[in-house]
Amino acid sequence: MEGQLQTRNVPNLTEIELAAIESGNNLADGHARYELTASQQKIINQLGEMYALAAEASPALLDQKAQSAFLTAVGQHSAMAGAEVLSCYSSSVAMEITARSLYTSGVRRVALIHPTFDNIPDILRGAGMDLTPMSEDSVMAGSGRLPAGAEVLFITTPNNPTGQVLLPEALTHWARECASKDAVLVLDSSFRGFDERAQYDHYAILVQEGCRYIIMEDTGKLWPTLDLKIGFLAFPRDERLPLHRIYTDILLGVSPLLMLLVQRFAEDAQDGGFSELHRFIRSNRALLRKRLSGIPATSFPDADSRISVERLALPAGFTGSDMRHALCERGVHVLPCRQFYWAEPEAGERYIRLALSRPPEMIRTAAAAICACIERG
């Protein structure tokens, strides 16, 4: 099995997540699976009335309000003024539309951050792109050049699984570099709701540097809304890629009820909900780190991460793939990190990834299972 790990027999991360979804101790996928806060519960209690409201309202107005509320809540104040924003079923659908638009326009060469969640390279390759890895450290450092011939630079920020954030100076550098080469800077910002350091106004910098850009924004990772969500696809109004056209190949729009739901949750987030969410994740992260602090030779490489997943580096002699199976036998589901390292899988074997957007009991159970697995060797 392990010998075949580079072939199509290796499960992708979503396949592993699917297998875990029915488990009581599912720390595999990054979706939000915990209790609604009191104010979120209040919104959900009004779902019936919201349906009636959404049925009466103008879809375009609802759409614009959802986009504006969300983008404002995550600090993207220049987005609505300068960008065309398309509401998609999810950020992965936004990614698929992006990949297809690149292909249709003859673009093939994409420089992509390494590591990152495997559906990004899979979607890009599936649409015919040639990928060149760029190490996360060099991307985040914000120095250096685009690889020769790259027509697109694709950065996940905050990155998954590491939580590393592209800071304003680094964004400015890459925007300038892309502008000078007429390359498109693509940002997947699905996790930015978790980290205020990723909430400076990206659109303002991109416009100022005259850079072609595509940004994927996502409500899907933040709130325990049973996967009722919207992925936003944002780009300059004068962008020549056929993003709008390919969007209409796939959808006419998302449900007006989802637009209203996203608006309400975004308003709640701005009104204290994000602070509550950040406290919740911080507390789960501290809990996990504390429970594992006694285990020698394990460590948390992403000291500074604030997103809703956490990497754990395993002691020498353990691999993430084996550890995943061992934990599975104890009814605890996590992700191995091999698949995140899409250009160099072995480099990911030192790590597993755990979801923190879970009830604290589940974090405790997972920590205990990890301790038991490592102590048993």
By CB under 8 A, name the binding residues for a second copy. Answer: 8, 12, 14-15, 17-18, 21-22, 29, 31, 44-48, 51, 54-55, 58-60, 89-90, 92-93, 96, 100, 103-104, 119, 122-123, 126-128, 225-229, 242, 244-246, 248-258
* CA pair distance 269, 276, nearest whole angstrom: 8
Residue whose CB is less far from a second copy, 58 or 208? 58
At 91, the amino acid letter reads S
d(CA 377, CA 359) in angstroms, rounded, equals: 28
141 closest CA partner among 174, 165, 172, 170: 170
**What residues contact 266, with CB distance under 8 A and at least 6 apart?**
66, 69, 70, 72, 73, 219
Compare residues 206 and 355 and give the one whose CB is closer to a second copy: 355
- CB closer to a second copy out of 76 and 101: 101
Q: How far apart are CB 206 and a second copy at their closest, in Å?
A: 26
- Shortest reach from residue 284's CB to a second copy, in Å: 19
Please report the sign of the dihedral spanned by the C-alpha atoms of residue 284, residue 329, residue 116, residue 227: negative
Q: Would you say 37 or 255 has its CB closer to a second copy?
A: 255
Handedness of CA 243, 91, 116, 301 (dihedral sign): positive
Angle between helices 47-56 and 256-268 (to 10 degrees): 120
Q: How near is the Cβ of 258 to a second copy at its closest, in Å? A: 8
Nearest to 200 by CA among 187, 212, 211, 185: 187
Instruction: Give the shortest CB-59-to-a second copy separation in angstroms.
Output: 6
**Least distance to a second copy from the beta carbon of 212, Å?**
19
Nearer to a second copy, 256 or 348 (CB): 256
